[in-house]
Amino acid sequence: MILQERPYIDFHTHKAVHAGEDDVMEIVSMHQHIKNEADWLTLGYHPWWLHEVLTKEALNELSTALSIHPRCLALGECGLDGLKGATREIQEQNFEAQLAIARALSLPVIIHCVRQFDRLLQIRRQWRDTKWVIHGYRRNVILTRQLLDEGIGVSVSPFPDMNSSFTEMLHFLPMESFTSKQTVTTE
């Protein structure tokens, strides 16, 4: 089924900021405490909001919601944050539990990662059969190369005060990463 054909896809937002614009298709990241109506969405447990290990019941609820929601395109936002949230051990356990759901449902994963890229790359080696995209990516060429080599996509968000490292990374990204028109499909 073809979802929509648009020149730009904002695949990760927390609210409808472009509502009504014909050239942007938004995919809203939903969290358990945020109630938002969206045409397309992702579902997952963000590392900021979890301070305990996810229960079996919570994981089952997530899996069911991902399975039955007709407009859910991916699992996420989930991942690791070195500045905020639970301990590293709890974050990793919750992240990998969600990756198992994504694998079982053959869903891509929208990744949140702050100051944990080394660990993220280690975890990736066990989950190569899942598709990952880092959202809000603003890092350097060296890390970008490592991520791309591991099959991890990056979603960049240019900003007014971009530093030279960020603009260098934008120039480094392969041209096939950019298109003037994209069609998003799902089975």
Largest Cα–Cα distance in the chain? 46
Please check the confidence at residue 40 and state whether its pLDDT lies above 90. no
| pTM > 0.75: yes or no | yes
**Domains detected in the chain:** 2-185 (3.20.20.140)
Q: 9 or 175: whose pLDDT is higher?
A: 175
**Lowest pLDDT segment from 6-15, 88-97, 138-147, 169-178:** 6-15
From residue 83, how far is each of 17, 58, 133, 138 by CA, in Å? 27, 24, 20, 16
* Per-residue pLDDT tens over the stretch 94-118: 999 999 999 999 999 999 999 999 9
| Residue 20 contacts residue 52 (beta carbons within 8 Å) | no
**Lowest pLDDT segment from 8-22, 66-80, 83-97:** 8-22
* Per-residue pLDDT tens over the stretch 156-186: 866 778 888 888 998 898 877 654 333 344 4
Q: Among residues of the chain, what percentage have pLDDT more than 70?
A: 72
Q: What is the pLDDT of residue 1?
A: 36
For the beta carbon of residue 159, count every other beta carbon within 10 angstroms. 10
Q: What is the pLDDT of residue 41?
A: 80
Sequence letter at residue 29: S
From residue 90, how far is each of 50, 79, 113, 117, 122 by CA, in Å? 8, 11, 15, 17, 16
Q: What is the pLDDT of residue 107?
A: 96
Q: What is the pLDDT of residue 177?
A: 67
**Strand pairing report for 72-81 and 40-43:** parallel
| Residue 15 contacts residue 30 (beta carbons within 8 Å) | no
